[in-house]
């Protein structure tokens, strides 16, 4: 067989292309691994995240203890203290809800602070009753939408509906709204109970 001298010593074109693609693939893989490694380093470790959550919770507990023991309890004093301790609006809201649940749990005991509970209830729930009076929902779907805007959690929705029912049930002109509130409250109570039951009895799957 005769071989064209012009091809002697040359590397096949497809071989060159293969090496080219291999180098490109290796380069892309290296860049990807570098990015993933950087992300792993920059991502907070679970332990660090847990520590931050515990620190925030401890700060909220300390804040609640301070306002509970204050000589004078008023809306102005509570909100002023809240903003002095927490700059983040989300943390402020979490602190108010924590304080509300603690103050409500203490109702009827020696640790009860009625003035503080009244301030917290009005700050967290009072505006919603007024909103329903100003713009009564036409149906449950409208009520659900209004609830979702102010109260993202199921427990918060339940508290808001209880408060609105107590505030509006004696007003004849709000009868239709009170009926909607009662229906939605019944649904939310059942849903919250179901979620609590699932959380209580759930367990991790054994994948070993």
**Token pair 């919603």 is at which residue?**
128
Write out the two tokens for 128: 């919603």
Euclidean distance between CA atoms 196 and 36, whole angstroms: 38
Give pLDDT, residue 48.
78
pLDDT top residue among 50 and 33: 50
Euclidean distance between CA atoms 191 and 180, whole angstroms: 17
Euclidean distance between CA atoms 170 and 79, whole angstroms: 30
Q: How many CB atoms lie within 10 A of CB 188?
A: 22
User: Phi-psi region for residue 78, left (φ > 0), alpha (ψ -120 to 50) or beta?
Assistant: alpha
Euclidean distance between CA atoms 69 and 62, whole angstroms: 11
Alpha helices in 106-172 (DSSP H): 114-121, 127-134, 140-150, 154-168
Interhelix angle for 154-168 vs 127-134, to 10°?
A: 60
Question: Using an 8 Å Cβ cutoff, are 160 and 147 in contact?
Answer: yes
Q: How far apart are the first and last CA of the chain?
A: 64
Find, among 117, 121, 198, 125, the residue nearest to 157 by Cα. 125
Percent pLDDT > 90 in the chain is 56
Give pLDDT, residue 66.
93
**Token pair 């009076």 is at which residue?**
133
Mean pLDDT of 187-202: 86
pLDDT top residue among 127 and 43: 127
Give pLDDT, residue 37.
45
**pLDDT digit string (tens) for 105-157?**
988 888 888 999 999 998 999 889 999 999 999 999 999 999 999 899 999 99
Euclidean distance between CA atoms 24 and 141, whole angstroms: 55
Banded model confidence at residue 74, pLDDT cuts 50, 70, 90 = very high
Question: Average per-residue pLDDT in the chain?
Answer: 82
Banded model confidence at residue 21, pLDDT cuts 50, 70, 90 = very low
**Token pair 């609105």 is at which residue?**
164
């Amino acid at each position: 067989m005769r071989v064209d001298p012009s091809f002697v010593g040359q590397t096949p074109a497809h071989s060159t292309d293969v090496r080219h693609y291999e180098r490109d693939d290796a380069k892309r893989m290296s860049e990807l691994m570098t990015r993933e490694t950087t992300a792993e380093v920059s991502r907070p470790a679970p332990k660090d995240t847990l520590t931050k959550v515990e620190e925030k919770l401890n700060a909220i507990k300390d804040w609640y203890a301070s306002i509970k023991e204050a000589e004078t309890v008023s809306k102005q004093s509570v909100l002023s203290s809240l903003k002095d301790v927490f700059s983040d609006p989300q943390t402020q809201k979490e602190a108010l809800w924590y304080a509300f649940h603690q103050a409500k749990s203490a109702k009827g005991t020696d640790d009860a602070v009625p003035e503080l509970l009244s301030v917290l209830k009005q700050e967290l729930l009072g505006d919603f009753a007024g909103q329903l009076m100003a713009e009564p929902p036409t149906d449950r779907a409208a009520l659900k939408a209004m609830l979702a805007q102010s109260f993202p959690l199921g427990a918060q929705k339940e508290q808001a509906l209880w408060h609105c029912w107590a505030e509006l049930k004696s007003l004849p002109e709000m009868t239709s709204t009170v009926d909607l509130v009662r229906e939605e409250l019944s649904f939310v109570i059942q849903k919250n109970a179901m979620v609590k039951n699932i959380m209580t009895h759930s367990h991790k799957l054994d994948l070993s």
